[in-house]
Each structure stands twice: as C-alpha cells, then as structure tokens.
Chains A and B, each alone.
Chain A
Amino acid sequence: MTDINAYQGPAEAGFGDYVALLKPRVMSLVVFTAFVGLWVAPEPMNPFVAFCAILFIALGGGASGALNMWYDADIDAVMKRTAGRPVPSGRVPGTDALGLGVALSILSVMMLGLAANWFAAGFLAFTIFFYAVIYTIWLKRSTPQNIVIGGAAGAFPPMIGWACATGGISLESLLMFALVFFWTPPHFWALALFMKEDYHKAGVPMLTVTHGREATRRHVFGYTLVLAPFAIWLGFTSVGGWLYLSVSAVLNLLFIAGGWRILRRTEEQANADGYKVEKSYFRLSLYYLFLHFLALLAQHWVGAW
C-alpha cells in the first residue's frame, strides 16, 4: 500500500490560521481602548448593544489586519518575526486573506451601523481604509514616518467607541486619540532599537535604518515630550479627575525619564548591556497606555469632574 504521507499537497489551513489573519494581539488593544472610549462617554448605552458595538469595532480591526497580511505577504516572508504568518508560510492563500478582509470590513461596518449609529460606522470604515490603503499600501513603504501614520489607525478605536455612545466627536475623544497617536512612535521605535529587524532587506524604510539609531533615540525622547501635555490635558476634561491626573503625572514623569535615558545612551553602551534600558522602556510603554486607559475607567467609576 502506498504511504499516504508520500504525497504532500498544499498545506491545509486550520481554523486558527484564519483567526491569526485578524491579528488577535492588535485586536486586544483595539477592544480595550474602544471599550474605554465607549464607557466613559456621557451617554449611557444598553450593555448588550455596547458589547456588540465593541465586537464589531474589533472585527473591523481584524478585517484591516487581514488586508494588511494580504498586501504585506512579500515583506512578511523576508522578516524572521513575521515569516510564520499564515500567508507567507503558505497555509492560507493570499486571495483568501483579501476575501476575508473585504467581507469582514463590509460586515463589521454594516453591523456597527445597525447596532450603534451610522456616524460610528462611517468612522470605522474610514479607519479600515486608512490602515489598509493609506498606511499599508501607500505610506508604509515610502516614508520613515510610517510608524507615526500607522499609529493614527491604532488611535481611532477610542474615538469610534465614543462615537458609538454619543454619535459624534468631542474634545475628550480627540485627546484619547492624541494619547494613543503620540504614544505609538516612542513605543515602536524603542522596539526597533533592540529588535534589529531586517526592514532594509524587506524594503520598509524604518527610522533606525534611514536616519540612524542616534536620530531614532532623539525621536523617542521628542515624542515623550509631545505626548505628556496631551495626556495631562485629558485629565482636565469632563472624563478626568484627581485619580486620572495623579496616575498620568507619575506615568508621564517615568516615560520622560526613560526617554531621556534612551537619548543619553550610545550604541556601544546599549550593546554592552544587551539593550537593557530600551527593553525596560518598551515594557514601560505598554504599562503607560494600559494604565492611562484603566485610570480613565476607574475615574469614571468613582466619578469624573
């Protein structure tokens, strides 16, 4: 009898491979920030409708992740960190990722419109378009500011959450956008300093490659300075209060101090201790964003201004 394993057809994708196309880890950030945006908004929402709204925002984020995986399969195949993703590894055909992305985009926007309101749905559609077309297809490969632009896509979810509840935009939601938007570059560039991915080989202009690592350190510090006033300002709006302000003040001091330490280091020092400062700064950046949004939730719970 012929051994059935002698014939190896194209790898068959499991359900998990399709889930991986939606970038579940990015989705968790989207879910959390969108939830906070929705919850602290002044208009109360039916809890089940709110749950559905968050789910459809997350689905829209997943759809843009699938579109990104379809278009970036060539880059992903070159870099070690991403070579195992479903499309470059050959488990899922690129056209499947495209189809899933487009179908889920339409579904999530329509369902968000029906569940919450059409302003929020339009906002979600714009976010998907911004991430998939403006960032992934257009600017990611053409400018070293790609991280800044991509950060905007990640910063929209709290605004969409706010729009689900209120049907519009206000200063509070704009400041939540600013918080994520100015946080992304230092967060990611700290990672780029110690990950040393071969972006160059993949043809992605990364700041560490195009302008050097010293310039990247300056940028990291510069963005922490820009970020701090927006984070504090949010504490003086209707969603802020003493609790948020104290958490934000501590986190921003730590973040600026960390950025300063990164700025003062040379590559030799960093190489000598295995990028210890950069790695701890990266961890701090994760706590920074999480605790800011958590503080907003807690502030809402104890009562804002």
Chain B
Amino acid sequence: MVMLPRVEHELHRRRRSRNLGLLGVLLAFVALVFGLSIAKITSGDMMEGYDHQPRASMLPRDPSPPAPNAGPVAVPGTPGAAALEQGPEAGQ
C-alpha cells in the first residue's frame, strides 16, 4: 500500500475553523433554547399549548368574574324550591 504524505494545507486549516465554529454556534443555540425553556417555565408561563380542542384551562383568567346570582330560581316542588322558601342561608 502506498502511503501518501499527509500534507496539511492552509485550506484545511480554514475549513476546520469553519467546521469548529459552526459546531460551537449549534451547541450554543441548543443551550440557548434549553435555557429559554427553563426561564419561561420557572417564571410561570403557560406550559400547555393550544391542542385543537378548546379547553377552559387555556382561557386567560377573568379579572372580574360575574357576581353570583342575587335572586336564584328553582322549579316549584323540587328540594331547591323548598330550600329557597326557607331562606338563602338554608339553601346553601
């Protein structure tokens, strides 16, 4: 087998600098995305995304929820109606 001399040319040096540089950039990008995920999750951002299915847990919290009904109604003859007649405290 003929052994060819391994000559390192300027060209190879430049090519290696490019490859190593790209490696460094890609690793840094991975670290960045990982760090971003950690930062976002630990600061309480939404951890579930929209999954093509409306879910109450995805809705933003209502800053002023509607007040409970002041005058509740019940179908006559049901336990609810009897409770209403005895007063709101008893119906709770």
Contact = CB atoms under 8 A, between A and B. Distances in A.
Contacts of B13: 14
B11 interface: yes
B19 to A, nearest CB: 8
A46 B7 contact: no
B82 interface: no
Interface stretch (A48-56, A161-169, A176-184): A48-56
A250 interface: no
B48 to A, nearest CB: 16
A194 B7 CA distance: 48
Interface residues of B, number: 19
B36 A49 contact: yes
Interface string B11-35: 1011101101110000000001001
Contact of A4 (B7, B17, B36, B43): B7
A12 B15 contact: yes
B39 interface: yes
Contacts of B61: none
A46 B18 contact: no
Given A4-B7, A4-B9, A9-B11, A18 B36 contact: no
Contact of A18 (B9, B15, B21, B35): B21
B20 A15 contact: yes
Interface residues of A, number: 16
Contact of B14 (A12, A49, A55, A114): A12
Given A12-B14, A14-B14, A52 B21 contact: no
Contacts of B7: 4
Interface in B30-68: 32, 35-36, 38-40, 43
Contacts of A19: 21
Given A4-B9, A55-B32, A46 B39 contact: yes
Contacts of A52: 32, 35-36
A15 B15 CA distance: 8
The residue in A4, A12, A13, A16 that gathers the most chain B C-beta atoms within 10 A of its C-beta is: A12
A294 interface: no
B32 A49 contact: no
A115 B36 contact: yes
A14 B17 CA distance: 6
Contacts of B15: 12
Given A4-B7, A4-B9, A18-B21, A13 B36 contact: no
Nearest to B11: A12
B72 to A, nearest CB: 41
B9 A13 contact: no
Given A4-B7, A9-B11, A14 B36 contact: no
Given A9-B11, A52-B32, A115-B36, A15 B17 contact: yes
* 10 A-B pairs closest in CB distance: A15-B21, A14-B14, A48-B39, A12-B14, A14-B17, A12-B11, A15-B17, A15-B18, A46-B39, A46-B43
Interface of A: 4, 9, 12-16, 18-19, 46, 48-49, 52, 55, 114-115
Interface of B: 7, 9-11, 13-15, 17-18, 20-22, 32, 35-36, 38-40, 43
10 contacts: A4-B7, A9-B11, A12-B11, A13-B18, A48-B35, A48-B38, A48-B39, A49-B43, A52-B36, A115-B36
